[in-house]
Amino acid sequence: MSATLLKISCPDRVGLLARLTSFVAYHGGNLLEVHQFTDPLSGWFFARLAIDTGTLALDLPALRKAFKPTADELQADWTIRDETVKMRVVILVSKLGHCLADLLWRWRSGELPIDIPLVISNHEDFREMTEREGLRFEFVPTDDKAAAFEKMRELFRSVNAELIVLARYMQILPREICDEWPGRIINIHHSFLPSFVGANPYKRAYDRGVKLIGATCHYATAELDEGPIIDQEVVRVEHFHMPDDLLRLGRDCERLALARGVRYHIHDRVLIHGKKSIVFRD
């Protein structure tokens, strides 16, 4: 059963959910799933409605046009999207391939219903892995960072990238790219931010004797590692774990948190509000 997804956030007021469900019903839509949350501190309303596409009396462009007056009145940020249309996702990777390999497996198995028009790396290490899957691989060295990022920006545009995933891509994207794809760049970071930032985080965690390690999946912004958090994963560290064990456990956390973050995003389950995100988990 295909679904049309309505995602909306706006200032809270009485009867908002009734307005939305009435709109859907008026156009013949049968609701498959409804999530709603009102933040009492900010006075902001968030909702995600999944509608049985086969029941709607209007096609997607007409439905968007019909909803616009209501959205304008509510001063809302909103999208209406056909869930069956696969999002175009560009993946960036450096010299650690565990997150890339995991995403490719989930894509190949159908667990992540996305299109991957391009994989970009500042190293050649994962060309064979990528091309073995029949995917395009672009090597963009970052010796000249300005030129590299300009080339990447052109590549993103050329493939109509709708989401950019930093699968342990170890370069900081410039403000221009973050501003052009706001809320559409996902990064995975070892540990709970901002603990143990920088090089050799798991060795430093071992030296500190931590009892928990984890990973944070968040949106990338011009402020390093300060974007809205989508998902986090944690694992307990035992006294007998060595640095290599922490590395293994940490990579598992990174794979899982990133995969969940990408899944939530492509299914329109994430609504950004300022520095935070509301996630209607599946």
Residues 277 and 90: their CA atoms lie apart, in Å, by: 22
- Cβ atoms of 223 and 247 closer than 8 Å: no
DSSP code of residue 28: T
Active site residue 225: yes
**Around 162, how many Cα atoms within 13 Å sit in the side-chain half-sphere?**
15
End-to-end CA distance of the chain: 17
Q: What is the DSSP string of 221-254?
A: -SSTT-SPEEEEEEEEPPTT--HHHHHHHHHHHH
Residues 23 and 71: their CA atoms lie apart, in Å, by: 11
* Sign of the C-alpha dihedral computed for residues 164, 254, 197 and 167 taken in this order: negative
DSSP code of residue 127: H
Q: What is the DSSP string of 52-113?
A: EGGG-SS-HHHHHHHHHHHHHHHT-EEEEEETTS-EEEEEEE-S--HHHHHHHHHHHHTSS-
Nearest alpha-carbon partner for 219 in 262, 252, 184 = 184
Residues 279 and 281: their CA atoms lie apart, in Å, by: 6
Catalytic residue among 115, 225, 245, 252: 225
- The residues annotated as belonging to the active site are 225
